[in-house]
Amino acid sequence: MHVDPDRVDLRCYTSWVEQARSLVVSGDEEAALRLLDRAERCWHGEPLAGITGSWAEHLRATVGETRLVAAMTRTEILLREGKFADAVPVLLPLAEEHPLDEALAERLAVALHGSNRTAEATRLLQRTRQRVVRDIGLDAGRGLHRVHQGILSGTPAAGLLRKDGGDGANPSRPTRRVPDNLPRDIPWVGRRDEVRMLTAALCEGLGASAVVVTVEAIDGMPGVGKTALATHIGHRLRERFPDGRLFISLGGGSPDGTATAPSRVLTELLRLLGMDSQELPYTTDELVALWRSVAHDRRMLVILDDAASSDQVAPLLPGASPTAVIVTSRRRLPGLPGVRPVSLDVLPPDDAMALFTRRLGARSGVDAADTADIVRMCGHLPLAIEIAASRLLARPSWTTSDLSRQLRAARLAHLRDGERSVSHVFALTYRALTAEQQLVFRRIGLHTGSEFDQYAVAALAGLTGDAAGRVLEELLIHHLVIEKSPYRFTMHDLLRGYARSLVETGDQDSAEDSRQAVRRLMDHYVQAADRADRLAYPFRSRIELDPGSPDLAGPELADAHTAEQWLITERANLLHTLDWLADHGTEHQLACCVHALVGFLEMEGHLVTAEPLLRRAVDHWDAAADRAARARALLDLSAVYNHSARYAEGISVANEALEAARALGDLELESECIHQLSIPLWQTGQYAQVRTLHQHSINFLTQINNKRQMARSRNMLGIAHLHLAENQQALECFSLALTDFTELGDGRGRYSVLNNTAKLFQRMGDSEAAERAYREAINVAEEMGNRREKATLRMNLASVLDALGKTEEALALYEDALPVLRAVGDRRAEAIALNGTGRAHRSAGRAEEALPWHVAALSVIRRIHAVSEEADVLYDLALTERATGRMAQAVAHLEESRAISRRIAAPAEEDRAARALAEMRGLRAPR
């Protein structure tokens, strides 16, 4: 029998459930529920009731699995919305049918607990665990233990929901990496009781079923050895944590009192586990969910060093996981559930002497009485002892007697008195420096970040870059700075605090000296960022920095690649500069800084940071009556909107900028406004308007001989011609643009044009030429493109590989690109990748499997109103529906695709839909 699939209730039921799952992944839960409701209306009891045989039994089992998927999908949505009571009647009969299904029992227990039926939930969990042990012979899995433990500890039901996603906007899990960034261990002395206590505590619950994270907190005074102990434990237990050892500084001792935000710490944790920063979500809640999802089945040791507060640490704990955490802090951390504190005191006298002797190593001239005297004057504080030993090591001709005499002369007996002990040890080293070294040491204390290079120090101290580099080398010898990586320095937080105290006393630096030093530091980062941005993004229309600012030494940036690497390396300092200017700088300084950094902020995915600051910049230039600067700030804001697929807002602010540029008579600015305006117009299918704008732009760009802008305008004009089926004109535009970008050495421009040329070849039916162009674009992008652009190129290559019959390679590329596009928030490209994946499955003869991908793509594309892509998705959806026998739906979607194509003046797409309709109706295509 040949029957329309939509008349077979079983096929409708299965298809609608699969589509609902895809819609949940893409974030359209409302549409998913509608499909589940339609599917439920098809259910009339056991399929093929009364019919025996293996085929009937197999069919009933398959349909039963689909019914279970439908119920789990529905309750996933209900539980996420807090509708626990509504989920219970859906799950309860299924739990009776599947008594050994742990995932089902886990979800029902959460629903019962959330419905104030906690006793029933507990009995269900106990009964399920007993049945699993009795019938399978294994203990129940981690999920049941986690929920049971949470219920017993009074955790609200919402807190027991799995954090592994279901929202298509979340990035996929990273490839499994085993990170180990623990600092180097040192030859260990003392702390036997603490080591034994921590080792025993961290080895508890290391079985495969451990679900409650172990958290140990080490607190104590500065310099007492908290970090050293945590690091030593990490190395000692290395084999107990096979999935990684992570060390993260939380900056609780930062000189300005601002600890590292949890969102930035989570970003670094996820990056260390293999996820690129471009793949990460923006909000703290999403980062927390992703971190707990990634960590939930890993046995890792995480050291959170130098925490500022319980509030800072709480979002960083990995939840239900065999991962263990050690937190160090200068203060106790009340309010963290289940934390067992270990408070460190100074070393006993014997251990203090052993520490000093061990640091010296094999050396002549070491006297036991002198050693006892030195460590006594150091107050038995480990940091002071290490600094004293380093002083001796730096003077090969000295003996311990010489050092002891030196310490007594400096009155270090005050080291016994808590915090002052460290100050006196630092003062001894400080007074041994030259005046220039002292100046640099004091000014480093004013640096707002944790790492710095010689140019930041040069700005703070008012030196040349070479002079600052030389002094840093001298301070490195004195162990007053640490070189974390080549030419990148940091300073121990206690040393930094001491350096700042020297500034605050005002003995050698006035308050105005300090203010001027910090201003120069901010100017340095803004100027260096501006230079880097001009190399990395040479096409931008610039706001010139304040000509009154001093010209400060900066890094040598030879090309676009070097500039991009500098921006990435200085990421933390640049973000801190923005934060500082937002709080302490003038609106003018902030406006200039965010303009210089907007390309970097977009590339690195910091759009949440960028948008409010760009709005402030627009308001500032408006108040300053600087129409040209305001127009450029509007262009920056438009770029951020377009990146987020907020096309209507992008068009609005770009139009406003264009009007200002024309009023000013600034042709170069007008050209950039036209280019920026064209992007959302193109994304929303307004091709004729894009063509008109760029034809006008090319006319006046010819007059001012701006080759780069001419190349960009031709590239964009070629895109408009391509979509308007003006293939020859498009090819001419792309060829001219490629020549100009090649002569300019503009790699970004080259791979953009190559990508568009490949798209044109696809439209013309030359798939081999398209493949060659895409692969050349990918090779160029590898040198400098950001991850989002690289993912887009791989996605585009996949589309042509599918056409060439290389379907499995195409699917692999889609699978690789899709999580990146989701993570950076590029919803348009995400929809294209979803649709392409469906098309590839159809090419492989898996039309039923393809259908949910197209449905998910259509859901995403309609939410962002990208009408051009909507016509494409509808066309591909219709072909898939035709392949599965859904003829009526296919005709309806083809008619919708044709109508959209006609409305946006896309003749090739309109003709494509018309031919498919004619073929389906058994007619010849209209002439």
pLDDT at 209: 45
Spatial contact of 249 and 226, defined as CB atoms under 8 Å apart: no
Type of residue found at 546: D
| Reported confidence tier of residue 616, pLDDT bands at 50, 70, 90 | very high
CA triplet 269, 273, 276: central angle to 5 degrees?
85
pLDDT at 164: 45
Picking from 851, 924, 923, 922, the residue whose alpha carbon sits closest to that of residue 883 is 851
pLDDT at 356: 87
What average pLDDT does the segment 596-615 reach?
Answer: 80
Lowest model confidence (mean pLDDT) among 167-171, 212-216, 720-724: 167-171
Q: When comparing pLDDT for 142 and 104, which is higher?
A: 104
Question: CB under 8 Å to 130, separation ≥6 — which residues?
Answer: none
Type of residue found at 372: A
| Reported confidence tier of residue 797, pLDDT bands at 50, 70, 90 | very high
pLDDT at 5: 62
Q: When comparing pLDDT for 510 and 376, which is higher?
A: 510
CA atoms within 13 A on the CB side of 511: 0
Q: When comparing pLDDT for 851 and 395, which is higher?
A: 851
CA atoms within 13 A on the CB side of 537: 19
Distance of CA 759 to the CA centre of its chain: 30
Question: CB under 8 Å to 334, separation ≥6 — which residues?
Answer: 310
Lowest model confidence (mean pLDDT) among 107-111, 418-422, 577-581, 779-783: 418-422
pLDDT at 621: 95
Residue 924 has pLDDT above 70, yes or no: no
Q: When comparing pLDDT for 281 and 678, which is higher?
A: 678
Type of residue found at 6: D
pLDDT at 658: 94
pLDDT at 272: 86
Say how far apart CA 776 and CA 816 lie, in whole Å.
19
pLDDT at 196: 87
pLDDT at 403: 76
Picking from 183, 190, 187, 200, the residue whose alpha carbon sits closest to that of residue 237 is 200
Type of residue found at 388: A
Query: Tens digit of pLDDT for each residue in 720-753?
Result: 999 998 999 999 999 999 999 999 988 889 999 9
pLDDT at 55: 67
| Reported confidence tier of residue 794, pLDDT bands at 50, 70, 90 | very high
Q: When comparing pLDDT for 450 and 777, which is higher?
A: 777
Locate 450 and state its tokens: 């944790």
What average pLDDT does the segment 109-124 reach?
Answer: 89
Residue 927 has pLDDT above 50, yes or no: no
Residue 773 has pLDDT above 90, yes or no: yes
Type of residue found at 74: R
Percentage above 90 pLDDT, the chain: 32
Say how far apart CA 372 and CA 353 lie, in whole Å.
6
Picking from 590, 592, 600, the residue whose alpha carbon sits closest to that of residue 536 is 600
pLDDT at 898: 94
Query: Tens digit of pLDDT for each residue in 643-674?
Result: 777 889 999 999 999 999 999 998 889 999 99
Query: Tens digit of pLDDT for each residue in 708-723?
Result: 889 999 999 999 999 9
Mean pLDDT highest for which of 34-43, 287-296, 811-820? Answer: 811-820
Query: Tens digit of pLDDT for each residue in 32-64?
Result: 888 888 888 887 777 777 777 666 666 676 777
**How many other C-beta atoms are found inside a 10 Å radius of the C-beta of residue 33?**
17
Question: CB under 8 Å to 388, separation ≥6 — which residues?
Answer: 356, 374, 375, 378, 403, 407, 425
pLDDT at 222: 67
Residue 768 has pLDDT above 70, yes or no: yes
Measure CA of the first residue to CA of the last residue in the chain; give whole Å.
36
| Reported confidence tier of residue 785, pLDDT bands at 50, 70, 90 | low
pLDDT at 175: 44
Spatial contact of 277 and 212, defined as CB atoms under 8 Å apart: no
- What Å distances lie between residue 102 and 129, 138, 143, 145, 158, CA to CA? 8, 12, 8, 10, 19
pLDDT at 220: 72
pLDDT at 414: 34
| Reported confidence tier of residue 1, pLDDT bands at 50, 70, 90 | low
Residue 465 has pLDDT above 80, yes or no: yes
pTM for this model (two decimals)? 0.59
CA triplet 69, 70, 75: central angle to 5 degrees?
100
| Reported confidence tier of residue 129, pLDDT bands at 50, 70, 90 | confident
Q: When comparing pLDDT for 732 and 411, which is higher?
A: 732
What average pLDDT does the segment 577-597 reach?
Answer: 91
Decide: helix, strand or coil at residue 491.
coil
pLDDT at 167: 36
Query: Tens digit of pLDDT for each residue in 300-354?
Result: 899 998 887 888 888 888 877 888 899 988 777 777 777 878 888 878 889 988 8
Spatial contact of 746 and 713, defined as CB atoms under 8 Å apart: no
Picking from 252, 192, 181, the residue whose alpha carbon sits closest to that of residue 222 is 252
Mean pLDDT highest for which of 72-76, 340-344, 619-623, 915-919? Answer: 619-623
Q: Torsion-angle region of residue 785: left (phi > 0), alpha (psi -120 to 50) or beta? A: beta
Spatial contact of 866 and 645, defined as CB atoms under 8 Å apart: yes
| Reported confidence tier of residue 611, pLDDT bands at 50, 70, 90 | confident
The size of the chain, in residues, is 927
Residue 860 has what DSSP assignment?
A: H
Task: State the chain's mean pLDDT as an integer.
Answer: 83
At CB < 8 A and 24+ separation, what contacts does 390-397 make? Answer: 390/359, 390/479, 391/428, 391/429, 392/360, 393/359, 393/360, 394/477, 394/478, 394/479
What average pLDDT does the segment 273-299 reach?
Answer: 81
